[in-house]
Amino acid sequence: MAEETNKDPLHGVTLQMMLEKLHGKYGWDGLAARIRIRCFDSDPSVKSSLVFLRRTPWARAKVERLYLQAFVPRKKRPGARPAAGKAAGALATAAPPTEPARTRPAEAAPDAPSIPSPIRTLRLVLAPIDRSYADDIFRFFTPAVTRYMYPKPPEALSETLAFIDGSVTTNTSGRSLQVVVLDGATHEFLGCAGLHGIDTPRPELGIWIKEAAHGHGYGLEAIAGLVDWARANLSFEYLSYPVDKRNAASRRIPERLGGIAVREMKELNKSGFELDEVEYRIQCSKSAGEPSGLAAGAST
């Protein structure tokens, strides 16, 4: 009997091969924008990056994930499957569009997860990001908001526009779900949230809420809406939620949603502040302790 072909898309691909190919495609600036590790951002080189990646499994996993996204057809990636249809009884539901699309989307892959119209929760609307929110994002993404985050505040509106354009591209190609968080009644801008790597088995959650809107539970409600959407539309092993240990309010979000702290990591953010992070993992099945009634499908 002939030997079975190895179906691992990374079989025979060394870390150095991956890194050199990714560098050729994105450059160091592009890699630093996609993977927040210091070796890509501060005096980068292939040699120094290999040293760090070989002794840092979580960072190497991110490089492998980016390599798969960039160079391996989706159907050949680990855990790949056709996009799921709308699940019955899902809590987070897509609302009918309230206005025409303002950004012409790129063509999505045939089997990419369907990016929804705005997702409604009890008090919020999570709307796919576009350029009409650039002024709000530029204004409210402040040093205080970003203290415990990897990015730094933009110095010019052009940086915000570049971020939005990149997000629109990854949204429409089925690789992420980047949204703005809006008040459901007034459509006031409250912040941004995202679910990155939705075409992989371990998507990553992230959120920021503007300072004036802190203390109202908007972060928890928005993340709960994204988790509901992921459970209804994706097949995944777990959702990753990295957060700085000192950011007590943000840590409560994954803890309320049944997340389990699994590992710790330290790195400098783009403002030169050392992050002391813990990664929480939220499972694909809802735990008994998770709050209910947050998403639009719940009775009010």
pLDDT at 51 (0 to 100): 87
Assign residue 43 the CATH number of its domain. Answer: 1.10.720.30
Same domain, 68 and 112: no
Number of domains in the chain: 2
Q: Which residues contact 50 (CB under 8 A, 6 or more apart)?
A: 15, 16, 19
User: Is residue 269, in this structure, part of any structural domain at all?
Assistant: yes
Parts of the chain with a pLDDT under 50:
1-4, 80-110, 292-293, 295-300
Half-sphere exposure of 190 (CA within 13 A, CB side): 26
Same domain, 28 and 139: no
pLDDT at 5 (0 to 100): 56
User: Is residue 82, in this structure, part of any structural domain at all?
Assistant: no
Query: Among 228, 269, 270, which residue's Cα sits nearest to residue 93?
Result: 228
User: Is residue 87, in this structure, part of any structural domain at all?
Assistant: no
CB 197 within 8 A of CB 65: yes
pLDDT at 293 (0 to 100): 40
pLDDT at 38 (0 to 100): 78
Same domain, 269 and 150: yes
CA distances from 43 to 39, 46, 269 (A): 7, 10, 15
Assign residue 271 the CATH number of its domain. Answer: 3.40.630.30
Same domain, 31 and 175: no
Same domain, 65 and 119: no
Same domain, 273 and 227: yes
pLDDT at 53 (0 to 100): 87
Q: Domain span at residue 19?
A: 15-72
Beta bridge partners of 189: 182
pTM above 0.85, yes or no: no
Same domain, 183 and 55: no
User: Is residue 42, in this structure, part of any structural domain at all?
Assistant: yes
Same domain, 63 and 150: no
User: Is residue 125, in this structure, part of any structural domain at all?
Assistant: yes
User: Is residue 29, in this structure, part of any structural domain at all?
Assistant: yes
User: Is residue 79, in this structure, part of any structural domain at all?
Assistant: no
pLDDT at 9 (0 to 100): 80
Same domain, 117 and 224: yes
Same domain, 134 and 271: yes
Same domain, 52 and 130: no
pLDDT at 154 (0 to 100): 93
Same domain, 183 and 238: yes
CA distances from 49 to 8, 68, 124 (A): 24, 18, 41
pLDDT at 43 (0 to 100): 84
Pairing type for strands 124-128 and 119-120 reads antiparallel
| Sheet containing 93-94, strands listed edge to edge, beginning at the edge strand earlier in sequence | 93-94, 119-120, 124-128, 176-183, 189-196, 204-209, 238-244, 274-283, 260-268
User: Is residue 41, in this structure, part of any structural domain at all?
Assistant: yes
